[in-house]
Amino acid sequence: MEEKGASFERAMEELEEAHGKDFLFEDGRVLGSMCTKPMDGSVDVHSKFIESNLGNPGLYPGTRQLEEKIISIVSSLLHGNDFYGQVQAGGTESNIVAAWVARNVSGKNEVVFCENAHFSMLKACDVLRMKPVEVGLNENFEMDVGEVEDKITDDTAIVVASAGSTELGAIDPIEELSEICREKVFLHVDASFGGFVIPFLGDLGYPSKPFDFQLDGVSSVVLDGHKMGMSTIPSSVLLLRKEDDLRSIAVESPYLTSLHSTSLLGTRSSAGVAALYFAMRTLGREGYREIVKTCMVNTMYLVSEVKRINLGVPIEPVMNICGILVDDPVRVREELDGKNWKVSMSRHPDCLRVVVMPHVTRQVIDSFVHDLEDVSGG
Ligand SMILES: Cc1ncc(COP(=O)(O)O)c(C=O)c1O
Protein backbone atom coordinates (compact mmCIF):
# COMPACT_ATOMS: atom_id res chain seq x y z
CA MET A 1 0.00 0.00 0.00
CA GLU A 2 1.24 3.48 -0.89
CA GLU A 3 1.83 5.89 2.00
CA LYS A 4 -0.32 8.57 0.40
CA GLY A 5 -3.60 7.78 -1.31
CA ALA A 6 -4.05 8.49 -5.02
CA SER A 7 -6.28 11.30 -6.18
CA PHE A 8 -9.93 10.58 -6.83
CA GLU A 9 -9.32 11.08 -10.57
CA ARG A 10 -6.37 8.68 -10.67
CA ALA A 11 -8.23 5.96 -8.77
CA MET A 12 -11.28 6.40 -11.02
CA GLU A 13 -9.11 6.19 -14.15
CA GLU A 14 -7.77 2.84 -12.94
CA LEU A 15 -11.26 1.64 -12.16
CA GLU A 16 -12.57 2.77 -15.56
CA GLU A 17 -9.74 0.88 -17.21
CA ALA A 18 -10.58 -2.30 -15.28
CA HIS A 19 -14.29 -1.90 -15.96
CA GLY A 20 -13.60 -1.44 -19.67
CA LYS A 21 -11.97 -4.88 -19.77
CA ASP A 22 -14.97 -6.62 -18.21
CA PHE A 23 -17.78 -8.12 -20.26
CA LEU A 24 -21.16 -6.54 -19.73
CA PHE A 25 -24.40 -8.48 -20.12
CA GLU A 26 -25.88 -5.67 -22.20
CA ASP A 27 -23.20 -6.25 -24.86
CA GLY A 28 -24.91 -9.56 -25.56
CA ARG A 29 -21.72 -11.68 -25.86
CA VAL A 30 -22.03 -13.57 -22.56
CA LEU A 31 -23.89 -16.79 -23.33
CA GLY A 32 -22.65 -19.01 -20.52
CA SER A 33 -23.57 -17.07 -17.39
CA MET A 34 -26.51 -17.84 -15.13
CA CYS A 35 -26.59 -14.20 -14.04
CA THR A 36 -27.91 -11.26 -16.03
CA LYS A 37 -28.20 -7.49 -15.84
CA PRO A 38 -30.19 -6.79 -12.67
CA MET A 39 -33.57 -5.23 -13.32
CA ASP A 40 -33.95 -1.45 -13.44
CA GLY A 41 -34.15 0.07 -9.98
CA SER A 42 -32.59 -2.83 -8.09
CA VAL A 43 -29.10 -1.33 -8.34
CA ASP A 44 -30.30 1.94 -6.76
CA VAL A 45 -31.99 -0.01 -3.98
CA HIS A 46 -28.82 -2.05 -3.51
CA SER A 47 -26.78 1.13 -3.03
CA LYS A 48 -29.28 2.57 -0.57
CA PHE A 49 -28.87 -0.42 1.76
CA ILE A 50 -25.11 -0.72 1.31
CA GLU A 51 -24.39 -0.09 5.03
CA SER A 52 -26.78 -2.60 6.51
CA ASN A 53 -25.41 -5.82 7.96
CA LEU A 54 -27.86 -8.56 8.86
CA GLY A 55 -25.09 -10.32 10.71
CA ASN A 56 -26.00 -7.83 13.44
CA PRO A 57 -29.78 -7.73 12.94
CA GLY A 58 -30.65 -5.63 16.00
CA LEU A 59 -29.16 -2.59 14.28
CA TYR A 60 -31.13 -3.11 11.09
CA PRO A 61 -34.71 -3.95 12.06
CA GLY A 62 -36.03 -2.51 8.79
CA THR A 63 -33.76 -4.68 6.67
CA ARG A 64 -34.52 -7.67 8.89
CA GLN A 65 -38.22 -7.10 8.19
CA LEU A 66 -37.50 -7.13 4.45
CA GLU A 67 -35.72 -10.45 4.88
CA GLU A 68 -38.75 -11.85 6.72
CA LYS A 69 -41.02 -10.64 3.96
CA ILE A 70 -38.80 -12.29 1.34
CA ILE A 71 -38.98 -15.58 3.24
CA SER A 72 -42.74 -15.28 3.32
CA ILE A 73 -43.09 -14.41 -0.39
CA VAL A 74 -40.73 -17.20 -1.45
CA SER A 75 -42.54 -19.57 0.88
CA SER A 76 -45.81 -18.90 -0.92
CA LEU A 77 -44.14 -19.22 -4.33
CA LEU A 78 -42.76 -22.64 -3.35
CA HIS A 79 -45.94 -23.98 -1.72
CA GLY A 80 -44.55 -23.59 1.78
CA ASN A 81 -46.53 -22.44 4.76
CA ASP A 82 -44.51 -19.54 6.14
CA PHE A 83 -41.44 -21.68 6.44
CA TYR A 84 -38.08 -20.62 7.84
CA GLY A 85 -35.03 -19.35 6.10
CA GLN A 86 -32.44 -16.82 5.32
CA VAL A 87 -31.28 -14.64 2.48
CA GLN A 88 -27.71 -15.69 1.76
CA ALA A 89 -24.88 -14.90 -0.63
CA GLY A 90 -25.62 -17.45 -3.35
CA GLY A 91 -26.29 -21.07 -4.21
CA THR A 92 -22.90 -22.16 -2.88
CA GLU A 93 -23.49 -20.77 0.60
CA SER A 94 -27.02 -22.17 0.70
CA ASN A 95 -25.93 -25.63 -0.45
CA ILE A 96 -23.19 -25.71 2.19
CA VAL A 97 -25.63 -24.60 4.89
CA ALA A 98 -28.18 -27.23 3.82
CA ALA A 99 -25.57 -29.98 4.17
CA TRP A 100 -24.42 -28.54 7.51
CA VAL A 101 -27.98 -28.48 8.84
CA ALA A 102 -28.65 -32.03 7.63
CA ARG A 103 -25.47 -33.30 9.23
CA ASN A 104 -26.23 -31.66 12.58
CA VAL A 105 -29.87 -32.75 12.64
CA SER A 106 -29.16 -36.35 11.67
CA GLY A 107 -25.74 -36.91 13.20
CA LYS A 108 -24.89 -38.71 9.94
CA ASN A 109 -22.20 -38.04 7.40
CA GLU A 110 -22.95 -39.05 3.81
CA VAL A 111 -24.08 -36.69 1.05
CA VAL A 112 -25.80 -38.28 -1.94
CA PHE A 113 -25.78 -36.17 -5.11
CA CYS A 114 -25.46 -36.84 -8.79
CA GLU A 115 -22.74 -36.37 -11.37
CA ASN A 116 -24.16 -33.13 -12.67
CA ALA A 117 -24.90 -31.56 -9.28
CA HIS A 118 -23.25 -28.16 -8.85
CA PHE A 119 -19.62 -28.37 -7.69
CA SER A 120 -20.58 -26.51 -4.53
CA MET A 121 -21.60 -29.92 -3.17
CA LEU A 122 -17.97 -31.01 -3.38
CA LYS A 123 -17.01 -27.87 -1.48
CA ALA A 124 -19.71 -28.63 1.12
CA CYS A 125 -18.32 -32.13 1.64
CA ASP A 126 -14.77 -30.85 1.93
CA VAL A 127 -15.58 -28.03 4.35
CA LEU A 128 -17.89 -30.15 6.50
CA ARG A 129 -15.75 -33.29 6.23
CA MET A 130 -18.73 -35.22 4.92
CA LYS A 131 -18.48 -38.17 2.53
CA PRO A 132 -19.60 -37.51 -1.06
CA VAL A 133 -21.62 -40.36 -2.57
CA GLU A 134 -22.07 -39.77 -6.30
CA VAL A 135 -24.83 -41.32 -8.38
CA GLY A 136 -25.20 -41.39 -12.14
CA LEU A 137 -27.70 -39.92 -14.56
CA ASN A 138 -30.64 -41.34 -16.47
CA GLU A 139 -31.12 -40.85 -20.22
CA ASN A 140 -32.56 -37.35 -19.63
CA PHE A 141 -29.47 -36.25 -17.68
CA GLU A 142 -31.44 -36.38 -14.42
CA MET A 143 -30.45 -38.09 -11.18
CA ASP A 144 -30.83 -41.88 -11.43
CA VAL A 145 -33.44 -42.66 -8.77
CA GLY A 146 -32.72 -46.41 -8.66
CA GLU A 147 -29.10 -45.67 -7.87
CA VAL A 148 -30.11 -43.23 -5.13
CA GLU A 149 -32.17 -45.98 -3.49
CA ASP A 150 -29.21 -48.33 -3.68
CA LYS A 151 -26.81 -45.78 -2.23
CA ILE A 152 -28.84 -44.54 0.72
CA THR A 153 -27.35 -46.13 3.84
CA ASP A 154 -27.73 -45.82 7.60
CA ASP A 155 -25.15 -43.04 7.39
CA THR A 156 -26.91 -40.90 4.76
CA ALA A 157 -27.42 -37.38 6.08
CA ILE A 158 -28.76 -35.71 2.95
CA VAL A 159 -29.83 -36.29 -0.64
CA VAL A 160 -29.34 -33.28 -2.93
CA ALA A 161 -31.45 -32.94 -6.06
CA SER A 162 -31.29 -30.23 -8.74
CA ALA A 163 -34.30 -28.36 -10.05
CA GLY A 164 -32.56 -26.86 -13.00
CA SER A 165 -29.13 -28.45 -13.29
CA THR A 166 -26.25 -26.10 -14.01
CA GLU A 167 -25.30 -27.97 -17.14
CA LEU A 168 -28.58 -28.52 -18.99
CA GLY A 169 -31.34 -27.20 -16.73
CA ALA A 170 -32.59 -30.74 -16.08
CA ILE A 171 -35.06 -31.25 -13.23
CA ASP A 172 -34.31 -34.37 -11.18
CA PRO A 173 -37.23 -36.73 -10.41
CA ILE A 174 -37.93 -34.94 -7.14
CA GLU A 175 -41.42 -36.46 -6.73
CA GLU A 176 -39.89 -39.94 -6.57
CA LEU A 177 -36.98 -38.75 -4.43
CA SER A 178 -39.45 -37.19 -2.03
CA GLU A 179 -41.17 -40.57 -1.59
CA ILE A 180 -37.85 -42.27 -0.98
CA CYS A 181 -36.60 -39.67 1.52
CA ARG A 182 -39.81 -38.79 3.36
CA GLU A 183 -39.34 -38.98 7.13
CA LYS A 184 -36.09 -40.82 6.56
CA VAL A 185 -33.49 -38.58 4.95
CA PHE A 186 -33.13 -34.80 4.57
CA LEU A 187 -33.90 -33.91 0.93
CA HIS A 188 -32.42 -30.62 -0.27
CA VAL A 189 -33.50 -29.19 -3.62
CA ASP A 190 -30.97 -27.00 -5.38
CA ALA A 191 -33.25 -24.71 -7.38
CA SER A 192 -30.61 -21.98 -7.49
CA PHE A 193 -31.32 -21.55 -11.17
CA GLY A 194 -34.77 -23.08 -11.60
CA GLY A 195 -36.51 -21.59 -8.58
CA PHE A 196 -37.63 -18.48 -10.42
CA VAL A 197 -38.36 -20.42 -13.65
CA ILE A 198 -40.17 -23.69 -12.89
CA PRO A 199 -43.11 -22.12 -10.99
CA PHE A 200 -44.10 -20.34 -14.23
CA LEU A 201 -43.51 -23.05 -16.85
CA GLY A 202 -46.89 -24.77 -16.43
CA ASP A 203 -48.84 -21.50 -16.86
CA LEU A 204 -46.92 -20.89 -20.08
CA GLY A 205 -47.79 -24.30 -21.49
CA TYR A 206 -44.37 -25.92 -21.02
CA PRO A 207 -43.99 -29.29 -19.29
CA SER A 208 -43.19 -28.91 -15.61
CA LYS A 209 -42.67 -31.11 -12.58
CA PRO A 210 -43.30 -30.60 -8.87
CA PHE A 211 -40.04 -29.76 -7.16
CA ASP A 212 -40.87 -27.77 -4.03
CA PHE A 213 -42.61 -28.02 -0.64
CA GLN A 214 -45.81 -29.41 -2.14
CA LEU A 215 -43.82 -32.66 -1.92
CA ASP A 216 -43.83 -33.80 1.70
CA GLY A 217 -40.33 -35.25 1.54
CA VAL A 218 -38.65 -31.96 0.55
CA SER A 219 -36.79 -30.53 3.55
CA SER A 220 -35.17 -27.42 2.05
CA VAL A 221 -34.97 -25.47 -1.19
CA VAL A 222 -32.58 -22.79 -2.42
CA LEU A 223 -33.27 -20.31 -5.21
CA ASP A 224 -31.02 -17.45 -6.30
CA GLY A 225 -32.02 -13.84 -6.58
CA HIS A 226 -28.93 -13.04 -8.64
CA LYS A 227 -29.79 -15.61 -11.31
CA MET A 228 -33.35 -15.67 -12.70
CA GLY A 229 -34.52 -13.60 -9.69
CA MET A 230 -33.37 -10.55 -11.70
CA SER A 231 -31.69 -8.99 -8.69
CA THR A 232 -28.16 -7.96 -7.76
CA ILE A 233 -25.29 -10.12 -6.53
CA PRO A 234 -25.29 -11.44 -3.78
CA SER A 235 -28.59 -13.10 -3.08
CA SER A 236 -30.00 -16.56 -2.63
CA VAL A 237 -32.87 -17.66 -0.43
CA LEU A 238 -32.56 -20.86 1.58
CA LEU A 239 -35.92 -22.04 2.85
CA LEU A 240 -36.39 -24.87 5.34
CA ARG A 241 -39.52 -26.75 6.30
CA LYS A 242 -38.61 -26.95 10.01
CA GLU A 243 -37.44 -24.09 12.19
CA ASP A 244 -35.49 -26.43 14.44
CA ASP A 245 -33.36 -27.47 11.50
CA LEU A 246 -31.91 -23.98 11.18
CA ARG A 247 -31.34 -23.82 14.94
CA SER A 248 -29.09 -26.86 14.64
CA ILE A 249 -26.28 -24.64 13.33
CA ALA A 250 -26.72 -21.86 15.90
CA VAL A 251 -23.72 -20.59 17.85
CA GLU A 252 -23.76 -18.00 20.60
CA SER A 253 -22.95 -14.51 19.36
CA PRO A 254 -22.27 -12.62 22.58
CA TYR A 255 -20.93 -9.33 21.20
CA LEU A 256 -23.79 -8.80 18.73
CA THR A 257 -27.38 -7.67 19.10
CA SER A 258 -28.72 -11.22 18.77
CA LEU A 259 -27.99 -14.04 21.21
CA HIS A 260 -27.32 -16.59 18.51
CA SER A 261 -26.00 -16.55 14.97
CA THR A 262 -27.54 -19.10 12.61
CA SER A 263 -25.70 -18.15 9.45
CA LEU A 264 -22.48 -19.34 7.88
CA LEU A 265 -21.30 -15.78 7.27
CA GLY A 266 -20.83 -13.27 10.06
CA THR A 267 -21.19 -9.87 8.43
CA ARG A 268 -23.88 -10.33 5.79
CA SER A 269 -24.21 -8.04 2.79
CA SER A 270 -27.81 -6.98 3.07
CA ALA A 271 -27.96 -4.76 0.01
CA GLY A 272 -28.88 -7.93 -1.88
CA VAL A 273 -31.79 -8.46 0.50
CA ALA A 274 -33.28 -5.05 -0.28
CA ALA A 275 -32.66 -5.40 -4.01
CA LEU A 276 -34.30 -8.84 -4.12
CA TYR A 277 -37.29 -7.55 -2.18
CA PHE A 278 -37.60 -4.74 -4.72
CA ALA A 279 -37.41 -7.19 -7.64
CA MET A 280 -40.02 -9.57 -6.21
CA ARG A 281 -42.32 -6.82 -5.03
CA THR A 282 -42.35 -4.94 -8.33
CA LEU A 283 -42.30 -7.91 -10.72
CA GLY A 284 -44.80 -10.12 -8.96
CA ARG A 285 -45.71 -13.47 -10.51
CA GLU A 286 -46.86 -11.69 -13.67
CA GLY A 287 -43.49 -9.99 -14.19
CA TYR A 288 -41.47 -13.18 -13.65
CA ARG A 289 -43.85 -15.13 -15.91
CA GLU A 290 -43.24 -12.62 -18.73
CA ILE A 291 -39.45 -12.87 -18.27
CA VAL A 292 -39.59 -16.67 -18.28
CA LYS A 293 -41.84 -16.58 -21.35
CA THR A 294 -39.36 -14.44 -23.33
CA CYS A 295 -36.44 -16.63 -22.27
CA MET A 296 -38.29 -19.84 -23.19
CA VAL A 297 -39.41 -18.49 -26.60
CA ASN A 298 -35.81 -17.50 -27.31
CA THR A 299 -34.54 -20.88 -26.11
CA MET A 300 -36.88 -22.70 -28.50
CA TYR A 301 -35.79 -20.33 -31.27
CA LEU A 302 -32.15 -21.17 -30.54
CA VAL A 303 -32.98 -24.90 -30.72
CA SER A 304 -34.66 -24.47 -34.10
CA GLU A 305 -31.72 -22.45 -35.42
CA VAL A 306 -29.21 -25.03 -34.14
CA LYS A 307 -31.14 -27.75 -35.95
CA ARG A 308 -31.38 -25.60 -39.09
CA ILE A 309 -27.58 -25.55 -39.32
CA ASN A 310 -27.56 -29.34 -38.86
CA LEU A 311 -26.33 -29.48 -35.29
CA GLY A 312 -28.14 -31.32 -32.50
CA VAL A 313 -29.22 -30.82 -28.91
CA PRO A 314 -28.69 -33.49 -26.22
CA ILE A 315 -32.21 -32.97 -24.82
CA GLU A 316 -35.06 -30.66 -25.72
CA PRO A 317 -34.52 -27.91 -23.13
CA VAL A 318 -36.77 -28.05 -20.08
CA MET A 319 -35.87 -24.50 -19.18
CA ASN A 320 -33.77 -21.72 -20.64
CA ILE A 321 -30.51 -23.65 -20.93
CA CYS A 322 -29.64 -25.29 -24.22
CA GLY A 323 -26.90 -27.85 -24.87
CA ILE A 324 -25.45 -27.87 -28.40
CA LEU A 325 -23.75 -30.99 -29.75
CA VAL A 326 -20.71 -30.28 -31.90
CA ASP A 327 -17.88 -32.55 -33.04
CA ASP A 328 -15.11 -31.00 -31.01
CA PRO A 329 -16.61 -28.79 -28.27
CA VAL A 330 -13.25 -27.55 -26.97
CA ARG A 331 -12.10 -26.40 -30.40
CA VAL A 332 -15.48 -24.86 -31.28
CA ARG A 333 -15.61 -23.06 -28.00
CA GLU A 334 -12.11 -21.67 -28.52
CA GLU A 335 -12.97 -20.47 -32.00
CA LEU A 336 -16.15 -18.85 -30.73
CA ASP A 337 -14.06 -17.22 -28.04
CA GLY A 338 -11.87 -15.82 -30.82
CA LYS A 339 -15.03 -14.21 -32.19
CA ASN A 340 -15.70 -12.78 -28.76
CA TRP A 341 -18.51 -15.18 -27.77
CA LYS A 342 -18.38 -16.33 -24.15
CA VAL A 343 -19.95 -19.78 -24.32
CA SER A 344 -19.50 -22.46 -21.68
CA MET A 345 -19.44 -26.24 -21.75
CA SER A 346 -21.26 -29.14 -20.18
CA ARG A 347 -19.47 -32.32 -19.06
CA HIS A 348 -22.52 -34.62 -19.09
CA PRO A 349 -22.76 -34.77 -22.05
CA ASP A 350 -19.70 -33.16 -23.55
CA CYS A 351 -21.25 -30.24 -25.44
CA LEU A 352 -21.54 -26.48 -25.66
CA ARG A 353 -24.04 -24.84 -23.39
CA VAL A 354 -25.95 -21.60 -23.80
CA VAL A 355 -27.90 -20.09 -20.92
CA VAL A 356 -30.67 -18.05 -22.55
CA MET A 357 -30.87 -15.27 -19.99
CA PRO A 358 -32.89 -12.09 -20.62
CA HIS A 359 -29.84 -10.41 -22.20
CA VAL A 360 -29.67 -13.20 -24.82
CA THR A 361 -32.13 -11.74 -27.30
CA ARG A 362 -33.26 -13.04 -30.67
CA GLN A 363 -30.79 -10.72 -32.42
CA VAL A 364 -27.97 -12.05 -30.24
CA ILE A 365 -29.02 -15.60 -31.14
CA ASP A 366 -29.06 -14.80 -34.89
CA SER A 367 -25.59 -13.34 -34.75
CA PHE A 368 -24.28 -16.21 -32.58
CA VAL A 369 -25.73 -18.95 -34.81
CA HIS A 370 -24.16 -17.28 -37.84
CA ASP A 371 -20.70 -17.56 -36.22
CA LEU A 372 -21.45 -21.02 -34.80
CA GLU A 373 -22.21 -22.28 -38.31
CA ASP A 374 -18.92 -20.81 -39.49
CA VAL A 375 -16.76 -22.48 -36.87
CA SER A 376 -18.58 -25.79 -36.46
CA GLY A 377 -18.89 -26.65 -40.13
CA GLY A 378 -22.61 -27.10 -39.34
C1 LIG B 1 -27.68 -25.36 -9.74
C2 LIG B 1 -26.67 -24.44 -9.11
N3 LIG B 1 -26.46 -24.51 -7.79
C4 LIG B 1 -25.57 -23.70 -7.18
C5 LIG B 1 -24.84 -22.78 -7.89
C6 LIG B 1 -23.84 -21.89 -7.17
O7 LIG B 1 -24.35 -20.61 -7.10
P8 LIG B 1 -23.43 -19.36 -6.71
O9 LIG B 1 -22.47 -19.22 -7.84
O10 LIG B 1 -24.41 -18.25 -6.62
O11 LIG B 1 -22.78 -19.66 -5.43
C12 LIG B 1 -25.02 -22.67 -9.26
C13 LIG B 1 -24.23 -21.70 -10.04
O14 LIG B 1 -24.28 -21.61 -11.22
C15 LIG B 1 -25.97 -23.51 -9.90
O16 LIG B 1 -26.18 -23.48 -11.21
pLDDT tens-digit map of 215-238: 999 999 999 999 999 999 999 999
Q: Determine the Cα–Cα distance for residues 274 and 52; give it in Å rounded to an integer.
A: 10
**How high is the pLDDT of residue 152?**
98
CA of 8 to the centre of ligand 1 (A): 36
Residue type, 131: K
Region 30-43 average pLDDT: 97
Tell me the residue range of the domain where 304 lies.
12-38+285-376
Both 234 and 85 in a single domain? yes
Give the pLDDT confidence of 249-291 residue by residue, as tens digits: 999 988 777 788 999 999 998 999 999 999 999 999 999 999 9
Comparing CA positions, the residue from 70, 40, 43, 41 lying closest to residue 54 is 70
Our mutation pick for probing the ligand 1 site, out of 115, 116, 120, 142, counting the most ligand atoms within 8 A of Cβ, is: 120
Give the pLDDT confidence of 2-22 residue by residue, as tens digits: 999 999 999 999 999 999 999
Q: Determine the Cα–Cα distance for residues 79 and 198; give it in Å rounded to an integer.
A: 13
Q: Determine the Cα–Cα distance for residues 27 and 94; give it in Å rounded to an integer.
A: 30
| Residue 86, C-beta contacts closer than 8 angstroms, at least 6 positions apart | 67, 71, 97, 237, 238, 246, 262, 263
Comparing CA positions, the residue from 214, 241, 123 lying closest to residue 113 is 123
Protein residue with least CA distance to atom 15, ligand 1: 166
Q: Cα 228 vs. chain centroid, distance in angstroms?
A: 8
Q: Determine the Cα–Cα distance for residues 120 and 7; give it in Å rounded to an integer.
A: 40
**How high is the pLDDT of residue 378?**
55
Q: Determine the Cα–Cα distance for residues 25 and 35; give it in Å rounded to an integer.
A: 9
Both 99 and 142 in a single domain? yes
CA of 24 to the centre of ligand 1 (A): 20
Residue 7 counted as domain residue: no
Q: Determine the Cα–Cα distance for residues 50 and 246; give it in Å rounded to an integer.
A: 26
- Mean of per-residue pLDDT scores for the chain: 96
**How high is the pLDDT of residue 377?**
75
CA of 75 to the centre of ligand 1 (A): 20
Listed residues 250, 281, 312: the one ending a domain: 281
Both 54 and 182 in a single domain? yes
Residue 167 counted as domain residue: yes
Residues in the chain: 378
pLDDT at 302 over 90: yes
Listed residues 257, 281, 305: the one ending a domain: 281
pLDDT at 205 over 80: yes
| Residue 172, C-beta contacts closer than 8 angstroms, at least 6 positions apart | 114, 142, 143, 161, 162, 163, 165
CA of 279 to the centre of ligand 1 (A): 19
Protein residue with least CA distance to atom 10, ligand 1: 90
Our mutation pick for probing the ligand 1 site, out of 36, 92, 127, 320, counting the most ligand atoms within 8 A of Cβ, is: 92
Give the pLDDT confidence of 63-86 residue by residue, as tens digits: 999 999 999 999 999 999 888 999
Listed residues 256, 281, 306: the one ending a domain: 281
Q: Who lines ligand 1 at CB under 6 A?
A: 34, 90-92, 95, 118, 120, 162, 166, 190, 192-193, 224
CA of 136 to the centre of ligand 1 (A): 20
CATH number assigned to the domain comprising residue 328: 3.90.1150.10
Comparing CA positions, the residue from 36, 6, 13, 42 lying closest to residue 280 is 42
